[in-house]
Amino acid sequence: MEKRNYPLIYLFLLPSIVMFLVFYLVPIITVFTTSFTEWNGFNSPEFVGMGNYIRLFANKAFLYSLRNLLLWSLIAMTLHVGFGVLVAFILFRKPKGWKFTRAVFMVPNVISTAAWALIYKFIFNNDMGILNNLIRKVNPDFNVQWFYNSPYAFWAVTFTWLFFAVIVTLIVLNDLMAIPEEVNEAAKVDGATALQVAFKIHLPLCRNSIGTAMILSITSRVAMYETIVLTTAGGPGDDTMNLPLILVNSIMNLKHGYANSIGVIMFIIGLATLFIINKSFRMNESVY
């Protein structure tokens, strides 16, 4: 490309660069700098050093949030992503009714997170919920308030997202469909079974999409707010407490500096997730 075209390229990039600086970089810098201050959002921030972080790590709710996040992340990167990958491999074989199944699988993701949380609140309701009424067909004495009793609340929240992995499915399915047909034909010529092709050829070739799905799934757990606030509000006790809930509560109490220290922790967790999975799945390397 001739150098004389560079000014035009920079001109087209300018709006995106300005938007990135104004709406991303400046807020990120503000969050980091004000996390070291005592700030109520109205008066000028007062520098307190590591005070917010010391208070944060001394807060039991924060430690419980990290524990819950770790458990949810492990579930997300194994069961949640695993289920989405399994569905993708099944749909890739195009069984009878696969298009209808793909469309139905999309439905929960069309509904907003808040609406889906309220739907599940009724599903898990002890008196009129579908789940408990089905269980009482076998055990008439069964009575559990799923979102309000420990340890059931943690698993009730988990089930609101665990099996709705359509984003994972679509990403991996797209990767499967991009595999050159020559690769499949060569495997058939060599006498590979369908199972061998799936595990030894297709699965390794989909490592980038699976890694991407893991990043999306884990970071979604880091930012999970609506589902918890509309079902358990972090309870019972601290069974479903998480970082966004503490952050929002801190803002409501005009503790913006403290809230931003939580934002910094969430930002670091997101970057660490990106780095670890990127390295583990060798996502910067070509798969072919």
Q: Each residue of 76-95: pLDDT tens digit?
A: 999 999 999 999 999 999 89
Place of tokens 């988990």: 158
Q: What angle do CA 52, 56, 59 make, to 5 degrees?
A: 140
**Model pTM above 0.75:** yes
Instruction: Please state, in angstroms and rounded to a whole number, the distance separating the CA atoms of residues 4 and 205.
Output: 40
Element containing residue 34 per DSSP (H, E): helix 26-34
| β-strands 37-38, 46-47 pairing | antiparallel
For residues 85-109, average pLDDT: 88
Which one is predicted more confidently, 235 or 11? 235
Mean pLDDT of the chain: 92
Instruction: Please state, in angstroms and rounded to a whole number, the distance separating the CA atoms of residues 24 and 19.
Output: 8
Q: Assess whether pLDDT exceeds 90 at residue 223.
A: yes
CATH of 35-101+163-280, one of 1.10.10.10, 1.10.3720.10, 1.10.940.10, 3.30.465.10: 1.10.3720.10
Q: Assess whether pLDDT exceeds 80 at residue 6.
A: no
Instruction: Please state, in angstroms and rounded to a whole number, the distance separating the CA atoms of residues 240 and 234.
Output: 4
Band (pLDDT 50/70/90 cuts) for residue 4 is: low
Sign of CA dihedral 181, 187, 188, 192: negative
Rounded-to-10 torsion of CA 256, 261, 265, 268: 100
**Domain segments of the chain: what residues?**
35-101+163-280
Which one is predicted more confidently, 65 or 100? 65
